[in-house]
Structure 1
Amino acid sequence: MAGDAHAALELGRLLCLTASEPRAPGDGDQSWPEERWLRAAVESRPDDIEALTLLTGRLAQQISYWEAVLDMNPDVMEDYGEDEATVRRRQIEAEELYARIRAAGPVGPAAEAGLDELAVLLGVSGKPAAEAAYSFYVFEDEAWSGSVRYGTTIVASDADEIRWACDEWFALETGLSSAPTLTTYVDGAKVSSIDLGRHLVDTAVSWDDVAVPELTGLPLPVGLPVPGHGLYYGFTSAAE
């Protein structure tokens, strides 16, 4: 069972970086394929901090997503089986999971800034987080339809994983625009921005031609949001 829990956690962590199951038919809409695997990991190992953090962070992103939909076009919520009550249930669960993380004791200095930011996003604390705390990668793609902007963001702290996530996005969606970017942040500051559109061959990035900088500094812990940047770990889609 321990091996099953670890496998579920690893798969869930990787799926945080995608809109849907890899190579599954889809239109680029976010479907949170990681959730069932992260729930399985938490159920098998209730005190696993990484599993708790990943699930809490992804629920926080879901809450943000559906609150934005509720503000922009509440009528569409019903099509997805969502309403204010389902958003509230996620909020309650995320707060309970966050409390379990904190009750487990010190999590180490590396996670403190991210947990502080997560608490702010969940509305359980107003303590500001250290904005220059982490190093990470951000992939961004966007398209406009009239006055509405459709955006995709993927945040990760491993070079191989961000490459994989980009490949999955282009395989699924072939991109929203002709100018998707991959930006590197070190200690919270932008140090590199790459126009991936220049390196697209058919529907894939020619990574041999892309020099992705290695991260220095403290990498963003998996599952935690980026303090001060309004960014969640993993895949995020939004319309505004």
Structure 2
Amino acid sequence: MKITDETVAQLRSMATAGDAQAALKLGQLLCLTAADPSESDAFNPTWPEERWLRAAVEAHPDDIAALMLLTGRLAQQNSYWEAMLEMDPDVLAEYGQDEDTVSRRHSETKELYDRIRAAGPHDHVEAGLDELAVLLGLRARPAEPAPAAGYSFYVLEDETWSGSVRHCASIVACDAEEIRWACGQWLALSEDGFGDLTLTVYEHGSETNSIDLGQHLDNEAVDWDAAVPDLFGPRLPMGLPIPGLGLYYGFSGEAE
């Protein structure tokens, strides 16, 4: 189903009225954005999905899908702030963050992870949960990790260089329509992106296609019919990181 502004507005209205499933779906879509398209600046970290995913978990505390999305996104958020803490602690204060807030969020994420495990998730999510445990410091990384663990997914990357610093925005999704929507949101928020826009397709854990989306731009929008194939293998569980690749589900931004 095509995702439109009306789709998001309807989900927002239903979620605001207390519909937990609408809150979950809205939160899942907003995982794929740098900022809420109706409110914020693309270059300020906001994690617009958090409030809706928290509402979904509060309404259904044992909903594994909601727990995985919230846990994975909090883990990604903490990874971002921990990197910023190492680079420039003063920057955190500008966003109301410090070592204590990072530590509390990390503890909460571990507690949520334990709740997922206690709920008895399906075997399909085991590899992603194991990777999440590694990222949370709950277990050591395997000596020979299986890259992507057989999952199928898309990775959209937009990168540029400023001197010796690489700036990169990435979006990981496992649905063709959602990656199309997320790409459109990113191009709008970032005013047509940073620079080199690439879509990489993974099937059964292996890279099968890398597409220069710059070759498929038409009036500053991507001609998706020509650019993106559907996925056929087992999908990456929404919310969980990709084993062996160091990528989180949803939107991530970094400078290195």
Question: TM tier, shorter chain?
Answer: over 0.9
Q: Which amino acid aligns with 1:122?
A: L
- Secondary structure (helix, strand or coil) at the match of 2:196 reads coil
Question: Is the CA contact 1:23–1:172 (under 8 Å) kept in the aligned structure 2?
Answer: no
Conserved 8 A contact 2:27-2:50: yes
For structure 2, the 5+ residue unaligned runs are 1-14
Are the equivalent residues in 2 in contact too, given 1:142–1:180 (CA < 8 A)?
yes
Q: Output aligned runs, 1:124-203, within 5 Å.
A: 124-126=138-140, 128=142, 130-131=146-147, 132-203=149-220
Bigger drift between 95-104 and 194-203 goes to 194-203
State the distance in 2 between where 1:9 and 1:71 align.
33
C-alpha contact 1:18 1:168 (8 A) present in aligned 2? yes
Give the residue type in structure 2 aligned to 1:87: V
Structure 1 residue 228 corresponds to structure 2 residue 244: yes
Normalised by the length of structure 2, the TM-score is: 0.88
TM-score, reference length from structure 1: 0.93
Paired residue type of 2:124: A
Aligned to 2:5: none
1:93-138 CA distances to partner (integer Å, 9 max, x unpaired)?
0000000111112x11110000000111011122636433211100
1:238 corresponds to: 254
Q: Residue 73 in 1 paired to residue 83 in 2? A: no
Sort the Cα spacing of 1:25 and 1:77 in 2 relative to 1 into closer, same or farther, 3 A. closer
Mapped contact 1:143–1:151 kept (Cα < 8 A): yes
Q: In structure 2, what is the Cα distance between the partners aligned to 1:29 and 1:188?
A: 32
Are residue 48 (structure 1) and residue 63 (structure 2) matched?
A: yes
Indicate conservation of the 8 Å contact 1:30/1:236, yes or no. no
**Alpha-carbon distance between aligned partners in 2 of 1:29 and 1:203, rounded to the nearest angstrom:** 23
> Which residue in the other structure is 2:110 paired with?
95
Q: Corresponding residue for 1:112?
A: 126
CA distance in 1, matches of 2:70, 2:211: 30
Q: 1:118 to 1:127 in 2, by over 3 A?
A: same
Structure 1, unaligned runs of 5 or more? none
Q: What are the Cα deviations for residues 131-165 of structure 1, in whole angstroms up to 9, with x where unaligned?
A: 33211100000122222221100001101100110
Report the alpha carbon displacement of residue 3 of structure 1 after superposing the two structures with TM: 7.1
Is the 2:53–2:70 Cα contact (8 Å) retained in structure 1? Answer: yes
Q: Per-residue CA shift, 1:22-74, capped at 9, x if unaligned?
A: 24341433310000000000111111111111000001001110111111122
1:218 aligns with 234
Pairwise CA distance, 1:193: 0.7
The runs of 4+ residues in structure 1 deviating greater than 6 Å are none
Name the % identity: 63
CA contact (8 A) 2:152 2:232 kept: yes
Distance in 2 (alpha carbons) for counterparts of 1:205 and 1:90: 37
Superposed CA RMSD in Å reads 1.8
The alpha-carbon distance between structure 1 residues 24 and 209, as it changes in their structure 2 partners (threshold 3 A), is farther
Contact 1:19 1:30 in 2 (8 A): yes
Match of 1:32 in 2: 47
